[in-house]
Amino acid sequence: MAMKSRLCLAIIAVILMGGCGSMTKKPDIVSEKKEISKVIHTSIGWAAAKDTTALFNCFPDDSALFWFSTNDQGTIQGFQDFAHLVRNVFMSDDFKAIRFEVRELQINLSQSGDVAWFHCRLDDFNEWQGQPANWDDIRWTGVLEKRNGRWVIVQQHFSEPTGRK
């Protein structure tokens, strides 16, 4: 009988050890938020050097990408629409990035550590054909997903506060 008890205990111990080994490790929230912040900043800051590699690494190359702009004409559905906008507007010689500032950035991380959402205020100053083309005090929200070990923005929304003229 003692042999059966020991065998049962050994089997239970192996099962428990295997189960514990497969438990998901808690994410390092500080480190993850730092990576997420870098993606958010790069997704706007890429324009100064027109570094499309840095920009495209901030977004998924699939149809899940979506964002609302401050007007309906700027709404993007899918990576192909996004890449078309980048090539035809932001890479044009008519467009020049001046400066940007992300303010009041708040990042939240899911318990699983693979989804995050953020909100902030954005000042994004640019020129189009030598004329100002600015976003001043824009509300910016978004959702990121960790895919294959890297954070990408899968959804975002830019809006102007109500009451502006």
Report pLDDT digits (tens) over 11-21. Answer: 555 455 555 44
Distance between CA atoms of residues 33 and 115, nearest Å: 11
| 50 — pLDDT class (breaks 50, 70, 90) | very high
- The DSSP secondary-structure symbol of 114 reads S
| 27 — pLDDT class (breaks 50, 70, 90) | confident
Spatial CA neighbour of 120 closest among 155, 157, 74, 162: 157
Q: Are 151 and 144 in contact (CB under 8 A)?
A: yes
Is 22's pLDDT higher than 50?
no
Distance between CA atoms of residues 40 and 55, nearest Å: 10
**CATH class of segment(s) 28-159:** alpha beta
- Residue ranges of domains in the chain: 28-159
Name the helix (H) or strand (E) containing 158: strand 150-159
Distance between CA atoms of residues 123 and 79, nearest Å: 24
Average pLDDT over residues 92-112: 96
DSSP H helical segments within 22-86, as ranges? 29-45, 52-56, 79-85
Q: Are 91 and 46 in contact (CB under 8 A)?
A: no
Report pLDDT digits (tens) over 113-151. Answer: 999 999 999 999 999 999 999 999 999 999 999 999 999
The three-class DSSP label of residue 105 is strand
How many CB atoms within 10 Å of residue 43? 22
